[in-house]
Structure 1
Amino acid sequence: MKNVKLYVMSLAAASLILTSCETWKNANNRERGAVIGAGAGAAVGAGIGAAAKNPALGAVIGAAVGGAAGHIIGRKMDQQAEEIKTEIPNAKVERVEEGIVVEFSNNVLFGFDQSVLTAASKNTLNDLIKILNKYPDTNLGVDGHTDSKGADSYNQRLSERRAESVAVYLIDNGVKSSRITTKGWGETVPKYSNNTEDGRAKNRRVEFLITANDKMKQDAQREANQGA
């Protein structure tokens, strides 16, 4: 019964946030992070991610701790997001609650229908690695996506290979493997229209989900308690 109630609450929260998206979008990230209370974040995030058909959004919200500690984490994420925007102009950077979503279209990282990183993409990832290692107390999800062309099973495997290719490069170049998880979504979660070539090109993407790890959360909670 508790699980059912929590699921209903998460859907209600998702509905409230999504139906007032302009207010939500215009709010300060740290203010929005405080809305997600500790303990309910994962369920709310899952509900929002499912409703918005955006698992990156759900995953980042699900990792939130909320409250004063969330404000502290949000400030650190603001700084990291600005550095990524400045140093990597071909990345799409979005601050979401207490985390960051960094989106690269596949043509930045891979050749068409390929899962091997290009020489240019390695230079781009090297810039990202420098920033990631400046902020070691974060977890990093690497999600691969494709457009809707081709067989579902093929697209699923391709998205997995691309996510894994990126993760291996990060690990080989100094990012701790314990920080990284990978997932391939295939064509199941389009963010853009698959009815146009431009939309399909944007759906062929890799997303990085940057969230606080346990150490950052604990440090933020201690700092929040000291300021109380």
Structure 2
Amino acid sequence: MNKFRMSFLVILSAVFIFGGCSSWNRTQKGAAVGTAAGGTAGAVIGRASGNTALGAIIGAAAGGATGAVIGRQMDKQAEEIAKTVPDAKVERVGEGIVVEFSSNILFGFDESNLSNDAKRNLDNLVVILNNYPDTDIEVQGHTDSSGSESYNQTLSEQRARTVSSYLSGKGIAYSRLNIKGFGELAPKYENESAAGRTQNRRVEFLITANEKMKAEAEKQASN
């Protein structure tokens, strides 16, 4: 019954969101994109706030004592990433990690080819990701609001795909990787200023526990 009620809430939320989206602004439409992609009530809450990283991590959470074990492992991994990849913004969120790169670190303006500095940063990140093989990695591409929505959507997808391909080429198992492009629809910063637009042009890595890690964490929590 609880599962049924949760599914009903998700579906009902989506109906209301898409039923009224024609008059919404870009930020509200971004929330709708996140909500549609979510698979649990937690994901609905996170994504409806406009924070796609929060939504995805909440949706993947194990919770309880198991989640506490996972959280401690993520604390350690986040510390290592912060030390090894100083150009990235590293944030612990719930049971996961968000690693944010401003796109000007990874790409030239309006481009989807990785720069040499980008490859150096990603190589450093790969070292840590390989040390923690029992995690899943979602690569999200985002843009600012300059240009058309369709162009920005395509650019965000291309950038996410480029980064994901580079990671897999460096030994990250393809099964661990998932890519999503949100275009301009999920801004974290103000698009009204040049500084905010620069920050919105970003690629985010969402690191969460895979099923193996969750199972092992559950065993530890029960001992």
State if a TM-score over 0.5 links the two structures. yes
Answering whether residue 91 of structure 2 is matched by residue 94 of structure 1, we say yes
Q: How far does the alpha carbon of each residue in 1:11-64 deviate from its partner, in whole angstroms, 9 at most, with x for none?
A: xxxxxxxxxxxxxxxxxxxxxxxxxxxxxx952322222331011101001111
Question: Closer, same or farther in 2 for the Cα pair 1:3/1:72, shift >3 Å?
Answer: closer
Residue in structure 2 matching 1:190, options 172, 187, 192: 187
Q: What is the match of residue 14 of structure 1?
A: none
Residues in 1 aligned to 2:107 and 2:40: alpha-carbon distance in whole angstroms: 34
Residues in 1 aligned to 2:219 and 2:172: alpha-carbon distance in whole angstroms: 26
Residue in structure 1 matching 2:124, options 121, 124, 127: 127
Q: How does 1:34-183 map to 2 (within 5 A)?
A: 42-183=39-180
Q: How far does the alpha carbon of each residue in 1:75-126 deviate from its partner, in whole angstroms, 9 at most, with x for none?
A: 1000000011111111111101110011000001000000000011100000
Q: How far does the alpha carbon of each residue in 1:134-154 deviate from its partner, in whole angstroms, 9 at most, with x for none?
A: 000000000000000001110
User: Conserved in 2, the CA contact under 8 Å of 1:142 and 1:180?
Assistant: yes
Calculate percent identity across the aligned residue pairs.
57
Structure 1: where are the runs of 5+ without partners? Answer: 11-40
Q: With CA pairs under 8 Å and 6+ residues apart, which has the higher RCO, 1 or 2?
A: 2
User: Conserved in 2, the CA contact under 8 Å of 1:42 and 1:61?
Assistant: no
1:4 Cα deviation (Å)? Answer: 7.4
Q: What is the match of residue 204 of structure 2?
A: 207
User: Conserved in 2, the CA contact under 8 Å of 1:7 and 1:47?
Assistant: no
Q: Which amino acid counterpart does residue 189 of structure 2 have in structure 1? A: Y
Residues in 1 aligned to 2:178 and 2:9: alpha-carbon distance in whole angstroms: 28
User: Conserved in 1, the CA contact under 8 Å of 2:47 and 2:54?
Assistant: no
Q: What is the match of residue 17 of structure 1?
A: none
Q: TM-score by structure 2 length? A: 0.84
Residues in 2 aligned to 1:210 and 1:110: alpha-carbon distance in whole angstroms: 22
Equivalences, count:
196
Residues in 2 aligned to 1:161 and 1:171: alpha-carbon distance in whole angstroms: 15
Residues in 2 aligned to 1:224 and 1:94: alpha-carbon distance in whole angstroms: 24
Aligned residues: CA RMSD = 1.8
User: Conserved in 1, the CA contact under 8 Å of 2:190 and 2:197?
Assistant: yes
Q: What is the match of residue 34 of structure 1?
A: none
* Other structure's SS at 1:208 match: strand
Question: Closer, same or farther in 2 for the Cα pair 1:156/1:83, shift >3 Å?
Answer: same
1:222 Cα deviation (Å)? Answer: 1.2
Q: Which amino acid counterpart does residue 166 of structure 2 have in structure 1? A: Y
1:7 Cα deviation (Å)? Answer: 6.1
Structure 2: where are the runs of 5+ without partners? Answer: 11-37
Residues in 2 aligned to 1:43 and 1:172: alpha-carbon distance in whole angstroms: 32
Residues in 1 aligned to 2:190 and 2:107: alpha-carbon distance in whole angstroms: 21
